[in-house]
Amino acid sequence: MQTNKKVAFYTLGCKLNFSETSTIARNFQSEGFDRVGFDEKADLYVINTCSVTENADKRFKTIVKSALKQNENAFLIAIGCYAQLKPEALANVDGVDLVLGATEKFKVTDYINDLTKNEIGEIHSCEIDEADFYVGSYSIGDRTRAFLKVQDGCDYKCTYCTIPLARGISRSDTLKNVLKNAKEISDKGIKEIVLTGVNIGDYGKGEFGNKTHEHTFFELVQNLDKIEGIERFRISSIEPNLLTQDTIDFVAKSNSFVPHFHIPLQSGSNKLLQLMKRRYQKETYVNRVQKIKEKMPNACIGVDVIVGFPGETDALFLETYNFLNELNISYLHVFTYSERPNTEAIEMGGVVPQKVRNKRSKMLRGLSVKKRRAFYESQLNNKLSVLFEGENKNGFIYGFTENYVKVKTPWNPDLVNTIRAIKLTKIDEDGLVRFDWIKNSILA
């Protein structure tokens, strides 16, 4: 009796990559492959790459080696952003057999005639101008929440960013298909959906292949709010200039959209924002934070920030540090600037030494710890709801409140994928929050 071939997946990078990996995995399963863990022996390994930072590039070779340790004869495929930007570099890595670009990755099973290893990696990569069609995706089965892709690509020209070169122009899923996918996720018993894309606030552009907007992000939010069975929708990341007052007002009143926003800032200096070609100034960012907190005082607000961008003097870095320190936000995602080929920033003067970048990054990460602690302390004694995850980590089960406070309690499998009412009581030494159960705590 012939057994099915086994395939394993590894995903680098963002939530968008996770949603696409999950969809590609389902395509393999529909072709008769059995999915296994990346730490298991498989006939085929698929690595979904990222190229936002230099570190993500370097990790690729390590991941290839770990796959070959499981099975030295395995067929290895590289897909994703780095595969589009640097296909030759990946194809030349020992053990890599196939490299697929931005459009080809969704047809990966069409490129597998047999699983005989190649001496040199075979490349199928389009010109990025050809990446003008949309493929819907969502992740499911890996966790208690799903990542739902609603948009792809970006028309912005930020001087440090390679994503438009890796993913192409801004384009959107049709509203009908987004709602269909959300309903499919709901039917699987998933309680939370995280909306994801490259620039989700631009949703509606390219919805039917048109350059104009057919729908807006606000209309998307309004329609998703009507999906039955999904207890929570979370907006993963949205540009400050695209986060409208209508959306903020709607989330404040919504039964399913939670009070959690992740809003990229990148710098607290208007001079650097201009050099980065961001489409706002810091005053706009302050306005968005204030509007959110006016409507939702307990909202969690996360911030992306880049340190060490060319031209960032000590004075400009301190301007960013002080700006963030005074801002009513909850945590930071800190990115140390790294030079990316084919970007404007790589040609700029005022290069910041790596040691200085690292020092500034450490300072902002420390500020993030302080901000998160202060936010958690502000939530003590509040009554909230928590969605518990499905993993037993050293005898504890973890979960997140609607406003993204991470909590823990002793492992209990009955809690997995349930939403319970709690009262936050204490911050542990590890920075996580303990709580008391509220009577009749089961909410969903």
Q: What is the pLDDT of residues 409-422, one digit of tens each?
A: 999 999 999 999 99
In percent, how much of the chain has pLDDT > 70? 95
Taking the C-alpha atoms of residue 385 and residue 419, their distance in angstroms, rounded to an integer, is: 6
Specify the pLDDT at position 143: 66
CATH number of 53's domain: 3.40.50.12160
User: What is the per-residue pLDDT across 176-212, written as a single tens digit (0 to 9) for each?
Assistant: 999 999 999 999 999 999 999 999 999 999 887 766 7
Same domain, 163 and 237: yes
- Domain span at residue 203 reads 129-258
Residue 109 belongs to a domain: yes
Residue 1 belongs to a domain: no
Residue 223 has pLDDT above 90, yes or no: yes
Taking the C-alpha atoms of residue 37 and residue 27, their distance in angstroms, rounded to an integer, is: 16
The residue among 235, 258, 281 that closes a domain is 258
Query: Which of 142-156, 225-239, 244-258, 313-327 shows the lowest per-residue confidence on average (mean pLDDT)?
Result: 142-156
Residue 346 belongs to a domain: yes
Angle CA(409)–CA(417)–CA(190) in degrees, nearest 5? 155
Write the CB contacts of 300 (distance below 8 Å, at least 6 apart in sequence): 259, 260, 261, 330, 331, 375, 403, 404, 405
Taking the C-alpha atoms of residue 171 and residue 155, their distance in angstroms, rounded to an integer, is: 9
Confidence of residue 391 (pLDDT cuts 50, 70, 90): confident
Environment class of 85 (CB within 10 Å of its CB; exposed 0-12, middle 13-18, buried 19+) = buried
Same domain, 219 and 308: no
Residue 310 has pLDDT above 60, yes or no: yes
**What would the two tokens of residue 305 be?**
């920030």
Specify the pLDDT at position 54: 65
Three-state DSSP class for residue 103: coil
Same domain, 116 and 208: no
Write the CB contacts of 299 (distance below 8 Å, at least 6 apart in sequence): 259, 260, 261, 292, 293, 403
Q: What is the DSSP letter of 229?
A: T
Q: DSSP per residue over 231-299, as a string?
A: -EEEE----GGG--HHHHHHHHH-SSB-SEEEEEEE-S-HHHHHHHT-SS-HHHHHHHHHHHHHH-TT-
Residue 433 has pLDDT above 90, yes or no: no
pTM for this one? 0.91
Same domain, 293 and 359: yes
User: What is the per-residue pLDDT across 22-60, written as a single tens digit (0 to 9) for each?
Assistant: 999 999 999 999 999 999 999 999 999 987 666 666 788
The residue among 258, 277, 303 that closes a domain is 258
Same domain, 26 and 111: yes
Same domain, 158 and 252: yes
Taking the C-alpha atoms of residue 81 and residue 167, their distance in angstroms, rounded to an integer, is: 7
User: What is the per-residue pLDDT across 245-287, written as a single tens digit (0 to 9) for each?
Assistant: 999 999 999 989 999 999 999 999 999 999 999 999 999 999 9
Specify the pLDDT at position 114: 82
Specify the pLDDT at position 306: 98
CATH number of 431's domain: 2.40.50
Strand 96-100, strand 145-149: pairing: unpaired
User: What is the per-residue pLDDT across 95-115, written as a single tens digit (0 to 9) for each?
Assistant: 999 999 888 999 999 998 888
Burial 188-203 (b: 16+ CB within 10 A, else e): eebbbbbbbbbbbbbb
Same domain, 228 and 324: no
The residue among 258, 288, 306 that closes a domain is 258
Residue 16 belongs to a domain: yes
> In the predicted model, what is the mean pLDDT of residues 334-342?
93
User: What is the per-residue pLDDT across 110-141, written as a single tens digit (0 to 9) for each?
Assistant: 998 888 888 889 999 777 676 667 888 998 76
Residue 1 has pLDDT above 50, yes or no: no
Specify the pLDDT at position 53: 61
- How many domains does the chain contain in total? 4
CA distances from 397 to 304, 391, 392, 402, 438 (A): 28, 6, 6, 17, 18
Confidence of residue 431 (pLDDT cuts 50, 70, 90): confident
Specify the pLDDT at position 57: 64
CA torsion through residues 18, 20, 22, 28, sign: negative
Residue 297 has pLDDT above 50, yes or no: yes
